[in-house]
Chains A and B, each alone.
Chain A
Amino acid sequence: MSTEASTADFLKAAERVEIQGLKLELIVKGAGSPLLFLHGMDGVEGCSRIIDLLARDFTVYAPSHPGFGGSELPRAFSTIDDLAYFYLDLLDHFDLRGVTVVGFSLGGWIAAEILVKDTSRVSRLVLGAPLGLRTAEGRVRQVADIFMLHPKEVAAAMQLTPTADNVPLAELPESLLERIARNAEAVCLFGWSPYLYNPKLHLRLHRIRVPTVLLWGEQDRLAPLDYAKSFVAGLGQARLETLEACGHRIYVDRPEAAAARIVNFA
């Protein structure tokens, strides 16, 4: 199946729920204890494989973040904080308890921002190559600036797996193009400046006291393994697990291995 067809198929399961007046695109899949899955910069559709794998052991709640995919973006939303508070409302809305929170990349940043505020409904946390801590200092940049890179360089920085098919954009269905445009705009809104971080997050990470695992691709060229150190230091009790033959998009390069680690951890 082409990427385009499998994306369309995956999104068929999406429903629309209204939480605090916000119409959210949400995929609920599988059976077992609740797992809140927070996608990365390429939208929930980019994580379809790992979501399907996790649904074998969990009831996975996989929303499109407000502004991404088919989820509304309230005009007042402008920071990751807004998303974090919204997801606390989501946990209340479904009255979820003992939740495993999993976030990759941008979603890892959102997960951290949720948990520094309130961990009462959460039992454990998995951060896959999260962003959100300082990405540059003075002239030294630690996380590659996707806005300054050629699209091909961005693709190479994101994943080791070659991009599946080379269908020209113009030939994709309009609904998919709209998702691509909305995802890119939302990443820009939340991550343009400061670039993909909250300068206050490092002061608050110690508040996350639930068991935490950090997953990191050994060949992550967007946020190199060295960047993980500040998360390890800030979280205190977190365990860092690396994955071989894996870039930034862990959910693309090593979905089976990552899902297995999450299942074992839980």
Chain B
Amino acid sequence: MKVWQFSEQAYHPAFDVPGAMRVTLSASHCDPAVAGTLLNRYLDEYVLADELGFGIMVNEHHAAATCMSTSCMTTLAILARQTRKARLLALGIPIANRSNPVRVAEEIAMVDVLSGGRLEVGMVKGAAYEVFMSNRLPARFSDRFWEAHQLIMEALRNTGENFSWDSENYQYRAVSLWPRPLQQPTPPVWMTSSSAFSSVEHARFDYTCATFLSGAVARVVFEGYRKAYLEAHGRPAPEKRLAYLGVVATAGDRKTAFERAEQMKGYFTTAARLDVQFRNPPGFNPVKANVKMMQAGPNAVRPRLRSGAPLPADPTIEQYIDAGLMFVGTPAEVYEQIKQFYVDVGGFGNLLMMGQAGTLSHADTVDNLTLFAREVMPRLENISLDAPNVHYEAFA
């Protein structure tokens, strides 16, 4: 298993401001000097992650105190020069929110050559509320996503003459990437999924499929992927094509680890602070899915505990662990929790590890990453479903 360090790069001093953390939060709460200090700090932690043998994952959000990285590729352009070995994963670029997919391809190619071919590219639909900042049409969002994806891939793959492009939303006279990407035919592509249905396309394209903080749902996502992969390619899906994102807090002793987890919990409590009208703009999801959501009510999307009960509104650290959203404890305990989850979901080859989240300090993050790299990462390297002493225990 490969482990990737990830932080949302929050402006955590704003967590105390009452109300929403996204879309409507006034920028008057942002002290740009503090923002600069924090962003530099998070970049330092990514540089450390490179030295410790992690891969690096960055994301982006807009108009949010929970995430100051407003462009995956801007952040990765810095890390392309400041890191030496790490694979650099953008997970991801919300391509249906971008007005200019060729520019997306240009930025991908530029970071790929700068980094010596270390870039991995996630193309994501992204969070529904991002359309309020991009102003791109929520209706027919998925169609536009695949349209942009096709154009970006054509641009990245092109080694022949320049080409022109004409589709429903995008028209170009001359598509030509200078530079073009170093990795051929393209940097590895990732996508995200939270259902068996949406992982099918990813499997057909042979893209890596990641699921975020989904707990038991990860099993369903991975099963859908494996089934579709076997059908499309005639061979089992390799584990490296599957990824899970969870929060990791470790320390030399259990008490300190739980204290760190409490700091990181701020990620969950702030990410949820968003006014209701921005959660699911009309048209972003298909009519059938919207009908199901209305029928199921607000509890439908909550992660589940192993008992099958929904995760309560303000869960304890133990409940986050139980639901597979957090891995917390001494290195030995964290290893056991990850291994159990790995077995429960049928295996995966990438752990996207939130090694910094919420209000976790720089010193704690450094210790968290260092200890994990020294004591957990080596044990995860050769984890396998075929290994002895692995006991299957399905989620309820």
Contacts and interface: CB of A to CB of B under 8 A. Distances in A.
A11 B287 CA distance: 20
Contacts of B361: none
B296 A150 contact: no
A184 interface: yes
Given A170-B297, A177-B291, A184-B282, A148 B137 contact: no
B28 interface: no
A188 B291 contact: no
A189 B283 CA distance: 8
8 contacts: A147-B132, A151-B277, A177-B291, A178-B291, A181-B294, A185-B290, A188-B139, A189-B137
B346 interface: no
A188 B276 contact: no
Contacts, number: 60
B224 interface: no
Nearest to A175: B291
A178 B287 contact: yes
Given A150-B276, A151-B276, A151-B277, A188 B295 contact: no
Contacts of A182: 287
A137 interface: no
Contacts of B283: 184-185, 188-189
B139 A193 contact: no
B275 interface: yes
Interface residues of B, number: 19
Interface residues of A, number: 23
A94 to B, nearest CB: 29
Contact of A185 (B132, B276, B282, B296): B282
B132 A170 contact: no
A178 B283 CA distance: 12
A196 to B, nearest CB: 14
Contacts of B266: none
A148 B277 contact: yes
Interface string A160-195: 000000001110101001101110110111001100
A263 interface: no
A189 B132 CA distance: 14
Interface in B276-330: 276-277, 281-283, 287, 290-291, 294-297
Contact of A181 (B138, B287, B296, B297): B287
B140 interface: yes
A40 to B, nearest CB: 15
B135 interface: yes
